[in-house]
């Protein structure tokens, strides 16, 4: 089955929704306008139930098929934006300073709304489709909050599926793999306390900037010398704060960053090495080093049966040659992982074409993707719930 005629016909309408959402980005759980927009659309489509306030500000619409009783499946989109100033210059660019849809969640939401409208019109399936719109994917764990709120049990969801756009992958193509497809994440903050003093008399100080500089370099050995080369681990220091004057050695310095892994044992080893490196440097330099380590999202793990199913659906939409079934894992994190821990399912990438990268101020979701994404969602729902 190629792109649905109805999906192609709806492209401009759905793109209009997407551009509206792009102009009004909201962060984390504070997606009140976005959730209200989604709720209004779902109610207008005639969904059998529209439930708000799940996972704080999430929305779920239930669409029942006309072919009788059957299981329920979940289709998920994310709604939140990022704290970035947009530089696209597009007519529909963000109207909120310091916030933009730099990851395409506006497109994800719009495509799932388009699929919901189609499915509510046709209802060519048995059972129920739960269209899930979640807040706080970008670090807040909104997916986890919706699971903890009992979403799976409340709506009887037996399988769950997610989708994310991928810059660089051509429009009309899909990419997926069984097993770990996105990384587990952790965040760390390390505070180095020394003894400050005059910059002209460093011998009378314990310089936390020197200690922390050594620490930044030492942390890179976790990947290069403490981890099996065939395993995946990323340790990135993304913040370094110290000092306020040219002639003063400060009392303390602070760094922060992230760890990404695909296996629990590698994640444990990385944390152990961070703590050991900090303890060793503290002893060597006479400083005090405090480590605040916070494991975050788990690995996004695609279940084999559901991955094969999702791959076949994508092939029906795009052609088998345009579905990459063994993509390399992506070391970014994704809180759809919590839903995949709660229920079997699969997460797939859809091509966004030659665009700026995700989380870049020049990024924009490609509206040409819309009919491809809508067709995938519709065909997946109708096939999974065939009478």
d(Cα 245, Cα 130) in Å, to the nearest integer?
57
Separation of alpha carbons 315 and 309, rounded Å:
10
| Nearest residue to 116 (alpha-carbon basis) of 41, 9, 15, 54 | 41
Which token pair is 142? 């909104």
Instruction: Give whole-number Cα distances, 334 to 17, 216, 269, in Å.
Output: 24, 26, 21
**Stated length of the chain:** 387
**42: part of which helix (H) or strand (E)?**
helix 32-45
Q: Backbone phi, then psi, for 289, in 5-degree steps?
A: -125, 125
Instruction: Please tell me the predicted confidence (pLDDT) of residue 1.
Output: 53
pLDDT of 68 reads 87
Q: Are strands 49-54 and 58-64 parallel, antiparallel or unpaired?
A: antiparallel
pLDDT tens over the chain, length 387 residues: 589 999 999 999 999 999 999 999 999 999 999 999 999 999 999 999 999 999 999 999 999 999 989 999 999 999 999 999 999 999 999 999 999 999 999 999 999 999 999 999 999 999 999 999 999 999 999 999 999 999 999 999 999 999 999 999 999 999 999 999 999 999 999 999 999 999 999 999 999 999 999 999 999 999 999 999 999 999 999 999 999 999 999 999 999 999 999 999 999 999 999 999 999 999 999 999 999 999 999 999 999 999 999 999 999 999 999 999 999 999 999 999 999 999 999 999 999 999 999 999 999 999 999 999 999 999 999 999 997
Place of tokens 């020197």: 210
Q: Show Cβ contacts of residue 30 under 8 Å, excluding neighbours closer than 6 positions.
A: 57, 135
pTM above 0.85, yes or no: yes
Dihedral over Cα of 364, 369, 374, 380: its sign: negative
Q: Which two tokens stand for residue 230?
A: 């065939």
Three-class secondary structure of residue 368 per DSSP: helix
Q: Give the separation between CA 90 and CA 104, rounded to whole angstroms.
A: 15
HSE, CB side, 13 Å, CA atoms: give it for residue 302.
29
Q: Measured between alpha carbons, how far is 339 from 134 in angstroms, rounded to an integer?
A: 11
3-state SS, residue 104: coil
Burial 63-82 (b: 16+ CB within 10 A, else e): bbbeeeebebbbbbbbbbbb
Task: Note the pLDDT of residue 387.
Answer: 74
**Strand 233-242 relative to strand 252-261, pairing:** antiparallel
Q: How far apart are CA 153 and CA 364, in angstroms?
A: 36
Count of CA atoms in the C-beta half-sphere (13 A) of 283:
6
Phi-psi region of 215 (alpha: psi -120 to 50; beta: other; left: phi over 0): alpha
Contact call for residues 174 and 350 (beta carbons, < 8 A): yes
Ramachandran class of 139: left when φ > 0, alpha when ψ lies in -120 to 50, beta otherwise: left
pLDDT for 24: 98
197-198 and 300-302 as β-strands: parallel, antiparallel, unpaired?
unpaired
Residue 273 and residue 31: Cα distance in Å, rounded? 38
């Amino acid at each position: 089955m190629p792109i649905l005629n109805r999906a192609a016909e709806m492209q401009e309408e759905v793109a209009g929704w997407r551009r509206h959402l792009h102009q009004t980005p909201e962060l984390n759980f504070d997606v009140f306008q976005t959730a209200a927009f989604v709720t209004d659309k779902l109610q207008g489509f005639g969904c059998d139930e529209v439930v708000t306030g799940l996972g704080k500000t999430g929305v779920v619409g239930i669409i029942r098929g006309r072919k009788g009783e059957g299981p329920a499946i979940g289709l998920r989109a994310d709604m939140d934006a990022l704290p970035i100033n947009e530089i696209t210059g597009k007519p529909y660019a963000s109207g909120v300073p310091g916030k933009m849809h730099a990851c395409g969640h506006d497109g994800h939401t719009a495509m799932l709304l388009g699929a919901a409208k189609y499915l509510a019109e046709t209802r060519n399936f048995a059972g129920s489709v739960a269209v899930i719109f979640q807040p706080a994917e970008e670090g807040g764990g909104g997916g986890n909050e919706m699971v903890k709120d009992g979403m799976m049990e409340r709506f009887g969801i037996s399988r769950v599926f997610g989708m994310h756009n991928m810059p660089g992958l051509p429009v009309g193509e899909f990419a997926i793999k069984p097993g770990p497809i996105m990384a587990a994440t952790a965040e760390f903050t390390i505070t180095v306390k020394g003894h400050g003093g005059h910059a002209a008399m460093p011998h009378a100080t314990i310089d936390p900037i020197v200690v922390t500089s050594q620490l930044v370099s030492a942390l890179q050995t976790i990947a290069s010398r403490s981890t099996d080369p065939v395993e995946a681990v990323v340790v990135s220091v993304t913040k370094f704060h110290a000092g306020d004057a040219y002639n003063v050695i400060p009392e303390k310095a602070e760094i922060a960053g992230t760890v990404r892994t695909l296996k629990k044992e590698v994640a444990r080893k990385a944390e152990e090495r961070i703590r050991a490196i900090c303890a060793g440097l503290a002893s060597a330099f006479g400083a005090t080093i405090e480590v605040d380590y916070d494991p975050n999202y788990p690995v996004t793990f695609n279940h084999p049966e559901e991955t094969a199913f999702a791959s076949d659906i994508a092939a029906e939409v795009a052609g088998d040659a345009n579905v990459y079934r063994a993509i390399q894992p992506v070391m970014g994190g994704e809180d759809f992982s919590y839903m995949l821990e709660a229920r079997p399912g699969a997460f797939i990438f859809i091509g966004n074409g030659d665009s700026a990268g995700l989380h870049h101020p020049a990024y924009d979701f490609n509206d040409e993707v819309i009919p491809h994404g809508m067709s995938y969602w519709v065909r997946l729902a109708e096939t999974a719930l065939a009478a």
